[in-house]
């Protein structure tokens, strides 16, 4: 079975984005702010995982309307936070995980609301 070109492009975008988010989350960095709660950092987490959710939804035909993808990305966000805590140069943060989950949930909610409208037959 051949995949349509746009699905292949979205799968490549999803894979590349997943790789970049993971590597970027685990590389040592000297520029990390020492603030206990940095709203810009949380916005980046939400945007990054929201983008992953969107790419994943666009690249697959989710029979469960994205619930398994959302769960998988949420687990991956938790794995990243644990790896950061173990790294010695990064810090795992539950607030970062919450921001990841918020980004995932917002995209999934919009997807579920918009999808029925897009599937309605035209006039």
How confident is the model over 54-92, as pLDDT tens digits? 999 998 765 567 899 999 999 999 999 999 989 888 888
C-beta separation of 74 from 100 below 8 A: yes
pLDDT at residue 26 in the model: 87
Which pLDDT score, from 0 to 100, does residue 6 have? Answer: 79
- State how far the Cα of 78 lies from the Cα of 61, in Å rounded to an integer: 25
* Rounded mean pLDDT, 105-119: 83
What's this model's pTM, rounded to 2 decimal places?
0.82
The percent of residues in the chain predicted with pLDDT above 90, rounded, is 50
| Beta carbons of 99 and 43 less than 8 angstroms apart | yes
Comparing 2 with 44, the larger pLDDT belongs to 44
Contacts of 51 (CB under 8 A, 6+ apart): 17, 103
Q: What is the pLDDT of residue 30?
A: 66
Tell me phi and psi for residue 4, to 5 degrees. Answer: -60, 150
**For residue 87, what is the enclosing H or E element?**
helix 67-87
CA 92 to CA 11: how far, in whole Å? 28
Question: In the predicted model, is pLDDT for residue 2 greater than 80?
Answer: no
Compute φ and ψ for 26, nearest 5 degrees: -105, -15
Q: How confident is the model at residue 51 (pLDDT cuts 50, 70, 90)?
A: very high
DSSP assigned state of 4: P
Looking at residue 15, its pLDDT comes to: 95
pLDDT of 118 > 70? The answer is: no
């Amino acid at each position: 079975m051949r995949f349509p070109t746009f699905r292949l492009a979205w799968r490549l975008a999803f894979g590349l984005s997943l790789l970049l988010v993971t590597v970027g989350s685990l590389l040592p960095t000297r520029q990390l702010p020492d603030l206990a709660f940095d709203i810009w950092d949380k916005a980046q987490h939400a945007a990054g995982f929201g983008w992953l959710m969107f790419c994943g939804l666009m690249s697959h035909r989710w029979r469960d309307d994205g619930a398994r993808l959302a769960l998988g990305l949420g687990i991956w966000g938790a794995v990243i936070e644990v790896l950061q805590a173990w790294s010695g140069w990064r810090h795992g943060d539950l607030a970062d995980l919450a921001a990841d989950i918020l980004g995932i949930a917002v995209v999934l909610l919009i997807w579920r609301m918009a999808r029925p409208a897009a599937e309605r037959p035209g006039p």
